[in-house]
Structure 1
Amino acid sequence: DRGCTPSHLATAHGHSYTLQTILRSGVDANPSDKSGWRCVHYAAFHGRLGCLQLLVKWGAHLSEVDQNGNIPAHLAAMEGHLNCFKFLVCQGVSVTHVLGARNDQGETPKDLAQRFYKDNIVQDIMAMQYEQNHPDNQENVAFPAHVSAFKGDLKTLRHLVESGVINVNERDDGGSTPTHKAAGQGHLECLQWLIEMGADHNIKNDAGETAKDVAKRFSQLAAVKLLGGGLDDNSDEELNKDDPSFFDQHGVEGSTDSQGDVNLNASQKREARMRAYQKIEQFEHLLEVAKSNYKQLGGLLEEDQLRQKEENERDRMIQELQAQLEYERIRREKLECQLDDSRAEISHLNQCLEKLKVSDGSVEDNFQEPVKEKKK
């Protein structure tokens, strides 16, 4: 009744793997329901950070507004989903554009956060606004190692740590360590070196984030894996769903906004992944059945249209190449005929030349005989 598509539902429930399967089938990443909500609105409203990152990767627009003029940042602020809100600000056109966006009631994300008592969002917005108003403080000279880690300047960072100027776990005004800075920017060389030097990547900043949380927020998946998240890259063994250890492997978890609300041990997480995977298989089977029924009723799927378009384009190219090949064949035959004519003419001219040489030799002999008789 709300006009939701499967991608809307997958996003709302945080099924990032199902959403990825849907997007890979060629579905638009920006469908709208009857309220004007796109998938990014659902992800922001329900705090589905993993789905939000996936949608951005597939080209979703973060500036889309619903019928009330809300962009996704409004909804994330209203519901208090801090990590989603930070991600939306980072991926937006600019910090000023996102924080200053107003809906049809003239409310900014900060106004909504204050109205619904989302203090974490309000404090974060105030910190962002302070950084905007005091740009000189963003690169504090009192924390040169943090600046070096943020810029990926490993040479300077190494010199500062090895010379004892700073401690590898030194905190800045926001409680962040150099590891936080390197992880957030995805500077893997700096991050790897800091870990080797004994940096504690479990330290939390004033926002309660570890270095891995910061890497997740900025979609630095390589940094997340380096800090202990994601799949085990050292294993070459391919596992299937029949192996229980298949469900022990996981990537970046979809939402980090409610970590304190749900505490699951490793066994519970594995069982939850198994149930989720079974749901994925059921939905994929239902999707295939629905597609088959649609085709039997004479419907033409978008993927079939794309395939037909590709086949038509391929046939057109084949026809053009065949025509070009036929043209080249005829041209070659003409050139071969010209070559045969030229060879025949060369042979004829050579014969004429030989005859001229023979006739010239006989004339010269006849001329020399009278001369010899006179001398006698």
Structure 2
Amino acid sequence: MPPTGQMRAKATKLSSIHDAVKLGVVEEVEYMVKEGASVNEVDKTKDRFTPLHWACEKGALEVLHWLLWHGADMTVQTPKGWTPSHIAAIRGQDACMQALANNGANLNAKDARDATPAHLAAVHGNSFTLHTILRAGVDVTATDKMGWTPVHCSSFHGRLGCLQLSIRWGGNIEEADNSGNTPAHLAAMEGHLHCLKYLVSEGMTASHVLGARNDNGETPKMLAQQFYKENIIEYISAIEWERDHPEEAENLTFPAHVSAYTGDLDHLRMLIDNGIVNINERDDKGATPAHKAAGQGHVEILQWLIEMGANVKITNQAGETPLDIARRFAQLAAVKILMQYTNELDEEDEDNSDGRMQERILQKERRREKERRREEREQRREERRREKYEAYRERKRGRRSKIKELRKDLDELEENEDADELEREELVQHIKELEEEQENDGVDEDDEEDEEDEESAAEEEFISPPPAGNTEGTNMEFTAKQRREARGRAKKKCDELERLLLIAKKNYTQLGGQLPEERERLKLDRDSKR
């Protein structure tokens, strides 16, 4: 049946299915497909986009789902080799990317430069979209024509979030591109200090990461000097100074360890009491101040550390506790103090072992119950979303049918010369209201989110650990005071909602809308005039 009214007006404005997709109007897309348009039609611009490309470009998720349900091809490539998943990666449309992945899109597809969607998401810093791609199981080590992986792309463009994601999901920070540049080279030449620091922290050693050379024999520092990246030069120079002056560097890096080693209790007390260092801080070999004091036999420092709550069971990289260090260096007084304190700790551990075991079992059960309830909550949420969407579609269809009937009645009135003008105005007003409702209607997920928050809070309270002590016979019902306070909060919330409702009504009327009570008043006035 040919379009009428508002649909006919829209059809004159939208010259192709691509224009309808850009607007995100499912009904218009559906109408144009019925009129003969193809869901895989390529537009005439230089980009050569299909409707699916445009849906990913604009983030039109509802249109995207409709196109996928009606057989849109997810493998069509533009002249640059971009599939719809490439476009979603560039624009950071993670919801569209998830929909494509759920419908079997190839997220390892390569464009004309052999870049995958993961490469493009990393280039543009779209970490949420990159996370969606990585969760779909793509190859994070895939390279483009320059030999770059997503790790290289993130480093070159300074995208720290994407860099962390790529490495966490298996990216190699030492892999060299076609020119021999590692990610550290690329971060250094572009001056991205935050990315370079992260690469150094994730590497074997700072010297290993910063000492790598590309095919031209250049290190990251050389590239930073070549491109005048002063922040990178200062950072690497400081690391090199620490490497060349280890004793001075240790004094600066671990002052508490130096104080414990030299027996300077006053300085050590000042550092720990003022919160400058942690009492159990480890140096680059895993040793704590207690290890240093035990090795030198500084009994007074050991006693003070124990009184302040130092953990003397911590082991260094060699697996030695402070007691082991004291034995190795024959510091008998330190051995005696540490053995006495260690025996006391062992007795306490033995007394508390049963209680800790029971607590661990309870925690495990609570975690398991929490996970089960979370899965049930997700399932209910999906069911509610599906029901709301079906109700939304039904409302749309019902209003379209009603508008069609009213327009038919209006056409009959216009053909009848003796028709009542007031009745015609009522029909026009009713049609206008239905069209406004049709345009403003949507799938409202606010209530669903509120329900989810309430369910989650209730379940958290249900599975939260019981209070300490014996709770047998405790009255868990609300007291009168608690009920009064709850009523007060509810009344305050009601007043706030009423105020917001008045503001919303005022805005609605200022924009030309008619409230139900206003329409009722006009109808009563017309009836009285008759």
TM-score by length of 2: 0.30
Larger radius of gyration between Structure 1 and Structure 2? 1
**TM-score, normalised on structure 1?**
0.42
Higher RCO structure, 1 or 2 (CA under 8 Å, sep 6+) = 1
